[in-house]
A and B are shown apart, each in its own frame.
Chain A
Amino acid sequence: MVRFIVRRLLLSIVTLFIILLVVFALTRVFPSDPAKQLAGPFASEERVAQLTESLGLDDPLPTQFFRLVRDVVTLDFGESFSQPGVRVIDLVRPALWNSAKLVFLALMITLPLSIVGGIVAARKKDTIIDRSIVSFGLASASIPDFVSGVLLQFIIGVQLGWLPSISNAPADAGFFGQLEYILLPALAILFVYFGYIARITRAGAVTALDSDYARTAYMKGMSTSEVVRKHVLKNALQPTVAVTGTQMGYLFGGLVGLERVFNYPGLGNLILRAALAPDFPLLQTSVVAVAVIFMIATLTSDLIIAWMNPRARLDVGEN
């Protein structure tokens, strides 16, 4: 097990390095010159040159890259180009926290509903209930998040007025007050994932319900719900955990459209603004943050699966 974790960590470092290289390369090909943007349109050429030098942009590329790697390793992410004097970490932290809140709420809603939906569909296989759940899941899956977001905002936020249509909680809103403001985008995320998770849960549950183990349990007199709890759930949960792990990157950094619809200052929004400014340190740091989250999430989900399913432990490390 330890060897597995160590190996994964080493692989993650390699992957992070590659990502850093790719992002660095992209930023250095950017058409806009951050020094010029920062200096403003009336600036003299000397000022622009001065800024270029102080931002370290006129050093040879390998030097700049080395500096970037060193900064990331020492966790000193530098200062933002577009907000002079503001440390990048002070910009990323609140955005990260906001995204975390939204993801937390979304998962709290999505996972139970989808898993239950999948198990119900499996138990009522081939009935109308099964077909409805599967069809609904099919229909809502991969509808772009901002599209569901806009529809929800209109129907629930504006027409019915049940929830606030913009996610700008006032500063003094308590915990539940804040939840109210991000419930609509969380529902949009539910629509994106419900179908997929319900279907893989269903598939896993179908297999499990049909398995020898389950049949033996029935013969021994266990009720279906007991079988579900003891056997099916574990098997059905594994793929869900796996999927959730791999989707963390998207949930933290990929909800750019959804965040825009609800005016929510999450990480995706921050990355978009950093790309448009362009603000290289901010962009590099936030992209790395997304990658790190992804890595932690997949490692965690693999470990959870290994814990849940001893048999999987054998091929853990294979992936």
Chain B
Amino acid sequence: MDFKRFDLMRRNVGPVELDLIESYAQKKINRRDFVKRGTIVGLSAPFMGAVIAACGSDAAEEGAGTDTEGTGSGAATGTVGGNLIIGNQFGDANSGLDPATMLDLGTYNVVSQCFEYLVGLGDDGNIAATALATSWSPNADGSVWTFELRDGPVWQGSGEPLTSADVAATMDRAVEFGNAGLAGVIGEGSVDASDPTKAVITLLEPNGNFPVLVSLFNTQSLITPADYSTGTTLDERPDGTGAWKLDSFDPTTFVATYSRNENWWGGSTNLDTIELRGFSDIGTAVTAMSSREIDVIQNFSVIGGEGLLNDDSFNVLTPPSSNHRQVPFNVQQGKWNNPQIRQALAYTFDREQMVNTLFAGRADIANDHPITSGLPFFDADATPQRTRDIEMAKQLIADSGITDLTGTIECGDLGEIPEFAQIIQQNAAEAGFDFQVNVQSNSTFYGDSWCPGPSETDPNLPCDGSADLDIVDWGHRPTPDIFLGAALSSGGVWNGSNYANPEFDQKLSDYRTSVDVAGQKEAIGSIQSILHEDAPALYAYFFNYLAGHADTVSGVQTTALGHVIVSGASKDA
């Protein structure tokens, strides 16, 4: 341990960063978590490297430090030029290419080729300073974050450079819309744009994870020009600072074509043009990938994708994913308004069967809360893993006093969700539940069943009239803020369960405002217990997000939220 060097570093950072460095030095967190958290907090890579060097490398604490999570396929090695075809999910009929209101992976991918985020993607699948911000740092208590804007990005439409005024306008628009990641975190006028090269963002309360909320992991936080009005879509007004310019978009076939943006700050892309081709059915996309009609596939599933997984000339990409399917109850209005009956259902779940049948093992079992075990603040001791126990389920049913065990599981027709519903139905039947399954088209499900709209009178009923029991798809986020905030906090915009527990809200606030790992861990541990007991929603698994490309392509980066970043990609001729 090089104390002299270490002390020098400690002196030059704020309290937030300091706590993190201390935790690492005292071995409270391992190197991988230090790097992850350090990136979020805004430490630069060289700086972190120096800290690590100063602390001396310790073989014992390597842990999962060297993990190649396969989010990208390495540096591009192919020829310059050419066209790349990406098989994309067909965008939902609901929003059009609107960067503020888009909700589905297909649209995220199309729109994020042209617009960019403040915070980008790193090689290891975490956030990094690879987009519009070159660095960021918090103030003493994490309530004000300053982002240094990159010098170079210009708008395709006007030719003007990016300034903090654009960031300010984007943030205000996000607040106006109720952006899921930023709701309750920032308010109107949060961005101080007096210096055009810096965006100084003041939060409503301290938040240790803020940079994640303005990264590509908050998909609707794309930076749009200051004069971009509400409801404008990309095809109406093609614009952006990104590597690609939209040439054409056909909504009937959901095909978008792009050509190189000559004025992109990142230089010249290898590829000349790219095409995102929409497939309304994953099976069809898999076939197209197998026959090499497309070069890259945005997402495919294990069911039906066995051919690709066994194909030697196909590279599978598995970006880090906390993707899961949430099974919320409508705890205030449905018949399952009793924690015992909800726990009973949880005890009928045969989680191993679900993971094996639906994902051939490419998934991790979850424990009825949305905190993945890889997170540094996950508390392994707080909640023992719930396992299948039919007797316990029956007992809880009896205790709850509910005798009518009929019900309907509502779901959309995305991926393996209908099959998941069937397994739940069969598992639950053994304890006496009598469920029907109602599969709707994804747009109809999200429009009508999941969260029809907020109650006019009760702010704690954000999803008035949502289904008694349904299955909701959640894309990856590197931190569970959205899974906890938008999904489960009182009045949360995506809170289909209408869960309103002041104790939970308090712990959530504690987690958010903690900027030190210990504080986060304590809050999260409580959250895990609360959710495990109350069971407003059940979580059975976190599944691996699968994407991939032919081995003639290289330099592709993906996220588990549908982004396919090909600004650095190339293709063999």
Q: Which residues on A are within 8 Å of B, measured CB to CB?
A: 31-32, 36-45, 80, 82-86, 91, 94-95, 165-166, 168, 170, 263, 265, 270, 273, 276-277, 279
Q: Which residues of B contact A37 (CB under 8 A)?
A: 93-94, 443, 447
Give the nearest-CB partner of B280 in chain A.
A263
Q: Which residues of A contact B251 (CB under 8 A)?
A: 80, 83, 86, 91
- Are B93's CB and A168's CB within 8 A? no
Q: Which residues of B contact A86 (CB under 8 A)?
A: 96, 251
Q: Does B451 contact A (CB under 8 A)?
A: yes
The 4 closest A-B pairs by CB, nearest first: A42-B178, A40-B101, A82-B93, A277-B93
Complexed CA–CA distance, A85 and B96 (Å): 9
Return A115 CB to nearest CB of chain B, in Å.
Answer: 35
Complexed CA–CA distance, A38 and B446 (Å): 12
- One of B95, B284, B288, B450 near A40 (C-beta < 8 A): B95
Q: Which residues of B contact A270 (CB under 8 A)?
A: 252
Q: Which residues of B contact A32 (CB under 8 A)?
A: 444, 447-448
Interface residues of B in 490-509 (CB under 8 A from A): 493-494
Return B86 CB to nearest CB of chain A, in Å.
Answer: 15
- Are A85's CB and B447's CB within 8 A? no
- One of B98, B252, B288, B446 near A95 (C-beta < 8 A): B252
- Are A166's CB and B284's CB within 8 A? yes
Complexed CA–CA distance, A43 and B94 (Å): 13
Give the nearest-CB partner of B257 in chain A.
A171
Q: Does B179 contact A (CB under 8 A)?
A: yes
Interface residues of B in 85-123 (CB under 8 A from A): 93-96, 98, 101, 103
Known A85-B96, A170-B293; contact A41-B252, beta-carbon cutoff 8 A:
no
Return B88 CB to nearest CB of chain A, in Å.
Answer: 13
Complexed CA–CA distance, A37 and B301 (Å): 28
Q: Does B68 contact A (CB under 8 A)?
A: no
- One of A41, A82, A277 near B451 (C-beta < 8 A): A41
Known A83-B93, A84-B96, A85-B235; contact A263-B281, beta-carbon cutoff 8 A:
yes
A32-B444, A41-B446, A42-B179 known, 11 other contacts, Cβ within 8 Å: A37-B94, A37-B447, A40-B103, A41-B453, A45-B456, A80-B251, A82-B96, A86-B251, A91-B251, A265-B253, A276-B444
- Are A276's CB and B441's CB within 8 A? yes
Interface residues of B in 232-250 (CB under 8 A from A): 233, 235-236, 250
Chain B CB within 10 A, most for which of A32, A84, A277: A84
Q: Which residues of B contact A41 (CB under 8 A)?
A: 103, 446, 450-451, 453, 493-494
Complexed CA–CA distance, A42 and B179 (Å): 7
Q: Which residues of B contact A265 (CB under 8 A)?
A: 252-253
Q: Does B287 contact A (CB under 8 A)?
A: yes
Return A262 CB to nearest CB of chain B, in Å.
Answer: 9
Complexed CA–CA distance, A85 and B95 (Å): 11
The prevalent SS among residues of A at the interface is loop
- Are A94's CB and B93's CB within 8 A? no
- One of B94, B179, B236 near A277 (C-beta < 8 A): B94
Q: Which residues of A contact B450 (CB under 8 A)?
A: 41
Complexed CA–CA distance, A168 and B250 (Å): 15
Q: Which residues of A contact B177 (CB under 8 A)?
A: 40, 42-43
Q: Which residues of A contact B448 (CB under 8 A)?
A: 31-32
Give the nearest-CB partner of A273 in chain B.
B93
Return A267 CB to nearest CB of chain B, in Å.
Answer: 11
Q: Which residues of B contact A36 (CB under 8 A)?
A: 447, 452-453
Known A41-B103, A85-B235; contact A168-B441, beta-carbon cutoff 8 A:
no
- One of B96, B280, B287 near A165 (C-beta < 8 A): B287
Return A159 CB to nearest CB of chain B, in Å.
Answer: 15
The count of residues in chain B whose C-beta lies closer than 8 Å to any C-beta of chain A is 39
Return A38 CB to nearest CB of chain B, in Å.
Answer: 7
Q: Does B20 contact A (CB under 8 A)?
A: no
Give the nearest-CB partner of B177 in chain A.
A42
Q: Which residues of B contact A45 (CB under 8 A)?
A: 456
User: Interface digits, B54-97 against A, CB 8 Å rule (1 contact, 0 not)?
Assistant: 00000000000000000000000000000000000000011110
Give the nearest-CB partner of A84 in chain B.
B96
Give the nearest-CB partner of B444 in chain A.
A276
User: Interface digits, B140-158 against A, CB 8 Å rule (1 contact, 0 not)?
Assistant: 0000000000000000000
- Are A276's CB and B281's CB within 8 A? no
Give the nearest-CB partner of B450 in chain A.
A41
Give the nearest-CB partner of B231 in chain A.
A84
Interface residues of B in 357-415 (CB under 8 A from A): none
Complexed CA–CA distance, A40 and B456 (Å): 17
- One of B93, B103, B252 near A276 (C-beta < 8 A): B93
User: Interface digits, B287-317 against A, CB 8 Å rule (1 contact, 0 not)?
Assistant: 1100001000000000000000000000000
Q: Which residues of A contact B451 (CB under 8 A)?
A: 41
Complexed CA–CA distance, A39 and B252 (Å): 20
Complexed CA–CA distance, A36 and B451 (Å): 11
Known A31-B448, A42-B180, A168-B288; contact A85-B233, beta-carbon cutoff 8 A:
yes
Complexed CA–CA distance, A184 and B368 (Å): 47
Complexed CA–CA distance, A165 and B494 (Å): 40
- Are A277's CB and B233's CB within 8 A? no
- Are B93's CB and A91's CB within 8 A? no
Complexed CA–CA distance, A313 and B76 (Å): 73
Chain B CB within 10 A, most for which of A38, A94, A165: A38
Complexed CA–CA distance, A94 and B250 (Å): 10
Give the nearest-CB partner of A262 in chain B.
B284
Q: Which residues of A contact B453 (CB under 8 A)?
A: 36, 41
Return A282 CB to nearest CB of chain B, in Å.
Answer: 10
Return A261 CB to nearest CB of chain B, in Å.
Answer: 10
User: Interface digits, B169-180 against A, CB 8 Å rule (1 contact, 0 not)?
Assistant: 000000001111
Complexed CA–CA distance, A86 and B280 (Å): 20
Complexed CA–CA distance, A288 and B443 (Å): 24
Complexed CA–CA distance, A37 and B444 (Å): 9
Complexed CA–CA distance, A265 and B493 (Å): 35
Return B549 CB to nearest CB of chain A, in Å.
Answer: 18
Return B225 CB to nearest CB of chain A, in Å.
Answer: 18
Return A243 CB to nearest CB of chain B, in Å.
Answer: 31
Complexed CA–CA distance, A270 and B103 (Å): 21
- Are A277's CB and B446's CB within 8 A? no
- Are B93's CB and A166's CB within 8 A? no
Return B219 CB to nearest CB of chain A, in Å.
Answer: 13
Interface residues of B in 268-293 (CB under 8 A from A): 279-281, 284, 287-288, 293
Q: Which residues of B contact A39 (CB under 8 A)?
A: 101
Return A114 CB to nearest CB of chain B, in Å.
Answer: 31
Q: Which residues of A contact B452 (CB under 8 A)?
A: 36
Give the nearest-CB partner of A93 in chain B.
B252
Return A316 CB to nearest CB of chain B, in Å.
Answer: 39
Complexed CA–CA distance, A32 and B443 (Å): 11
Complexed CA–CA distance, A43 and B454 (Å): 10
Chain A CB within 10 A, most for which of B287, B288, B447, B450: B447
- One of B180, B287, B443 near A166 (C-beta < 8 A): B287
Q: Which residues of B contact A82 (CB under 8 A)?
A: 93-94, 96
- Are A38's CB and B94's CB within 8 A? yes
Give the nearest-CB partner of A279 in chain B.
B93
Give the nearest-CB partner of B178 in chain A.
A42
Return B375 CB to nearest CB of chain A, in Å.
Answer: 26
Return B230 CB to nearest CB of chain A, in Å.
Answer: 8
Give the nearest-CB partner of A276 in chain B.
B441
Give the nearest-CB partner of A158 in chain B.
B287
Return A16 CB to nearest CB of chain B, in Å.
Answer: 25
Return A314 CB to nearest CB of chain B, in Å.
Answer: 46
Complexed CA–CA distance, A95 and B279 (Å): 16
Complexed CA–CA distance, A32 and B101 (Å): 19
- One of B101, B233, B235 near A42 (C-beta < 8 A): B101
Complexed CA–CA distance, A91 and B251 (Å): 8
Give the nearest-CB partner of B275 in chain A.
A171
- Are B96's CB and A83's CB within 8 A? yes
Complexed CA–CA distance, A32 and B447 (Å): 8
